Amino acid sequence: MSPTEKTPDECKSWAYWLSESLDVQLHNTAMGSQGNDLIARKVIHKVVELLDSGVAPEEILVGIVWSGADRKDFYSSEVPADFPVNESGWIKNPEQFVEGDQTQGGWVIMSSGWMHQYSKIWYENFYDEVGAHINTYERIHWTQSYLKSVGVQYFMTTYMSNVINYMNNPAHGTPSKFYQTCRQDPNIQWMHDHIDWQCFLPVQSYSAWCDVHYDDFVNFYDHPQEPHARAFVEKVVVPHVQEKILQGEPQ
């Protein structure tokens, strides 16, 4: 998602500043507008690639800022010629992420504010708010289960506090109305209880943290800029990584 992404024309994201701070090589799979299906898929693919190249699991640290639960993607074998192109180049849609992919297909990203035909039909016919949150929980669970199975350390948070609400810890804030509704629904609750919340940064969300600490930042509207990203890394991410991961505390 965009607060994580770093492109030459955009500001340096938290991922850049963390790699600088820890003096590690950055492999950034983030991209503006992508949803949690693609985030999970691309992170797992990158870790697989690194492990296959001989990198040891303990040499890898994974950091994920989960995106909007309402975002969706699907793989299309043949993308129509008239598919709208993002002219600014900020995102690729459809997206390809497997190296050497010579196919004509790609992952078509859909967002509720976009009105290309795939997006429109999806949100009118198949989208459900609760279903979207279940999907996000499942993608987080898949990613965590995989990283645990290969012994790779990780930390996570969300870009905004409406993505998922992990506020089972009162220190993280007041639960939203939607969250309270979801907590009554066993379809979500059981999966919520299976998420490893210990790996989540001790903030409500990246955006909420910026909102609290910067007068010029508006939650649910602004994207973090370089000063926000750098401070977030220094004050939140690095202390968490040092305490929970580098000192070997179990997650």
Q: Which of 24, 126, 213, 239 binds other proteins (CB under 8 A)?
A: 126
Q: Which of 8, 125, 171, 250 binds other proteins (CB under 8 A)?
A: 125
Are 25 and 35 contacting, i.e. CB atoms less than 8 angstroms apart? no
Q: Which of 12, 27, 92, 148 binds other proteins (CB under 8 A)?
A: 148
Binding flag, residue 178, other proteins (CB under 8 A): no
User: What is the closest distance, in whole angstroms, from the C-beta atom of residue 106 to other proteins in the complex?
Assistant: 9
126 vs 220 by CB, closer to other proteins? 126
Structure tokens at 168: 């089972």
Are 64 and 147 contacting, i.e. CB atoms less than 8 angstroms apart? no
- Closest by CA to 31, choosing from 72, 92, 77, 79, is 92
Size of the site for other proteins (CB under 8 A): 40
Are 139 and 34 contacting, i.e. CB atoms less than 8 angstroms apart? no
CA dist 184 and 165 (Å) reads 13
User: What is the closest distance, in whole angstroms, from the C-beta atom of residue 236 to other proteins in the complex?
Assistant: 27
Binding segment for other proteins among 22-30, 130-138, 171-179, 216-224 (CB under 8 A)? 130-138
Binding flag, residue 141, other proteins (CB under 8 A): yes
Binding flag, residue 122, other proteins (CB under 8 A): yes
Are 67 and 1 contacting, i.e. CB atoms less than 8 angstroms apart? yes
Between the two ends of the chain, the Cα-to-Cα distance in Å is 24
Binding segment for other proteins among 13-21, 97-105, 157-165, 228-236 (CB under 8 A)? 97-105
- Closest by CA to 106, choosing from 115, 114, 97, 118, is 97
* 171 CB-contact burial (10 Å; exposed 0-12 / middle 13-18 / buried 19+): exposed
- 61 has which bridge partners? 153
Q: Which of 26, 121, 212, 218 binds other proteins (CB under 8 A)?
A: 121
Q: Which residues bind other proteins (CB under 8 A)?
A: 41, 44-45, 48, 74-77, 96, 98, 100-101, 103, 105, 117-118, 121-122, 125-126, 128-131, 134-135, 138, 141-142, 145-146, 148-149, 184-187, 190, 193-194
